Structure 1
Amino acid sequence: MSGSNSSELRVLCSSGQLLLQPLWDRLRTRDALTQSPFFPVIFAITTYMAFCLPFVVLDALCPWVPALRRYKIHPDFSPSVQQLLPCLGRTLYQHVVFVLPVTLLHWAHAPAFLPPEAPELLQLLRHVVLCLLLFDAEFFAWHVLHHKVPWLYRTFHKLHHQNASSFALATQYMSIWELFSLGFFDMVNVTLLGCHPLTVLVFHVLNVWLSVEDHSGYDFPWSTHRLVPFGWYGGVAHHDLHHSQFNCNFAPYFTHWDKLLGTLRPCPSQLGDETPGKAP
């Protein structure tokens, strides 16, 4: 019986690997790009901008399309050009001036290696979930520390709170120390777990999307926190409360650490008010 179960598991794993192999083979044929020392920075900026752009368009349309306001957490707020440009400028500046040199040094020390085989699907999913949970715990500890120690807050984290009402391009409006801290957590986690390069790409894409969604200011019926059951995932309204009240909801994604340490503050929708866009 146990031998039969083992055989079924091996078949399932092989099927998962075969499912991802065509995608991985296609990526490997573009090794001039994917193995380039410039790829990580190009990938990071492109992914971030691709996720921010739809929300920038929605913010531009919002004054002219009243129906959109019912999904905004702050219906009367739309970021101005004077708010958008500094956020965009800081993101590009920090990636070019700081992130790119560090990436080049890392590549010179350990050039990218792309194995011929794709990861198993179940392994990819497991590693992505573990990376998210580890990142959530690490950033929660970092975040609480930078709010509780006044010098750390003033020096490193205050910049991110300059925009009380969040918008997508404000996601990476942060000090270089904060940006490197988040990047360090990412790198350590995928290294400790021995993640396949395809898993790393999937995790980074998902992580960027979740962080942009958390700062977007839009609470749609299909937003991530509405899709995850039992209130396990905080989401955009949850994170907006942190930006407006400062002393709650420190975890970036999930709610268990805030629950355990008594810093969780439910958003109105979690208290039974299902009206999107209603201010807390």
Structure 2
Amino acid sequence: MENRGDPAAPVLQELWEWVRAGQEEVLRSPHLAACCAFLTHVLLCAPFFALDALGRVCERVRMWRIAAGSGPPPSLRRWSECFCRVLFRYLTAVLPAATLLQLLRSPELPEWAPSCWQLFVEVVACFLLFDMLFFLWHYLLHRIPWLYRNVHQMHHQHHVPFALAAQDASSAELLSLLLLALSSAWALDCHPLSETLFHLLNSWLAVEDHCGYNLPWALHRLLPFLGGAPHHQAHHSQQSSNYAPYFTHWDHLCGTYHS
């Protein structure tokens, strides 16, 4: 993954040069990663907040909810309480840790953009590596009682999750997932554009996994190797299966898959 330049990718190169020319100081900010992660998470949750609001008055929206017996969509109060918890943990744990990691890393921005193929390969490789690391860590969180009580149990207060709850976890768990995501991109020596795209898609898939809806246009309906929201909601209700975050192959291989 050393070949950063590709004259055959003019769109990406022009985009990268525009970013470097006008925003290089912003990109080097040690606070950027954590701030963008929080804002991205909130913005990606906004459509599901609207669905939950509509679900209180629209039968069609309620039909899209995964479990008919899961009760009404979460209330505004529940969303607000969750938002405050997530914001508090970002300010007190994620922001300081991400700032320190960025200061220690201090990467040089490359001159060349990746080719479209390189971008695709790096993002897919990041997801495969992250999915494996998450599966192993998640399995341990459930199998080791001390880890479950002190790290993971807070996330499982949501037996029927909703979009914002994707980040409603203990500070220790949020930091561990931050390290897994960053390590996946750094271990593969990804281009900053590939790393950024990976983090954006990672945020979206996490939100979609917790949304509580089996929507007609959901990614798991288009890509059968993804588990999606039904797969992850089964994990929240049973807690003994479906440990992988996105793909299903590790759960199939290890006998922990439940449809």
Q: How many residues align?
A: 253
AA of the residue aligned to 1:19: V
Does 2:115 match 1:120? Answer: yes
Q: Residues 102 and 212 of structure 1: is their aligned pair in 2 closer, same or farther, counting only changes over 3 Å?
A: same
Q: Residues 259 and 108 of structure 1: is their aligned pair in 2 closer, same or farther, counting only changes over 3 Å?
A: closer
Partner of 2:49: 56
Partner of 1:156: 151
> Any idea what SS the aligned residue of 1:243 has?
helix
- Segment drifting more, 115-124 vs 76-85: 76-85
5+ unaligned residues in a row in structure 1: which ranges?
Answer: 1-9, 267-280
TM superposition score normalised by structure 2: 0.92
- Contact 1:19 1:121 (C-alpha < 8 Å) held by counterparts: no
- Segment drifting more, 66-75 vs 232-241: 66-75
Mapping of 1:57-136 within 5 angstroms?
57-75=50-68, 76-136=71-131
Partner of 1:270: none
AA of the residue aligned to 1:150: P
Q: CA deviation at 1:103?
A: 2.7
Q: CA deviation at 1:101?
A: 1.7
CA distance in 2, matches of 1:165, 1:128: 30
Q: For each residue in 1:41-99, what CA deviation from the matched residue of structure 2 results, as whole angstroms up to 9, or x when unmatched? A: 22111111110011011101111111111211135421123322232112211211112
CA distance in 2, matches of 1:117, 1:195: 13
CA distance in 1, matches of 2:130, 2:105: 23
CA distance in 1, matches of 2:146, 2:77: 28
Match of 2:215 among 207, 214, 220: 220
Q: CA deviation at 1:112?
A: 4.0
AA of the residue aligned to 1:246: Q
5+ unaligned residues in a row in structure 2: which ranges?
Answer: none
CA distance in 2, matches of 1:193, 1:41: 21
Match of 2:28 among 9, 28, 35: 35
Partner of 2:252: 259
Mapping of 1:238-249 within 5 angstroms?
238-249=231-242
Q: CA deviation at 1:114?
A: 1.8
Q: For each residue in 1:6-39, what CA deviation from the matched residue of structure 2 results, as whole angstroms up to 9, or x when unmatched? A: xxxx9xx542x32311222222222232222221
RMSD over aligned CA atoms reads 1.7
Does 2:16 match 1:21? Answer: no
- Contact 2:151 2:173 (C-alpha < 8 Å) held by counterparts: yes
> Any idea what SS the aligned residue of 1:174 has?
coil
- Contact 2:161 2:236 (C-alpha < 8 Å) held by counterparts: yes
Does 2:227 match 1:234? Answer: yes
Q: For each residue in 1:98-148, what CA deviation from the matched residue of structure 2 results, as whole angstroms up to 9, or x when unmatched? A: 122223323333334222211111111101111101111111111111111
TM superposition score normalised by structure 1: 0.86
Q: CA deviation at 1:255?
A: 0.7
Match of 1:209 among 204, 207, 215: 204
**Whose Rg is larger?**
1
CA distance in 1, matches of 2:62, 2:179: 37
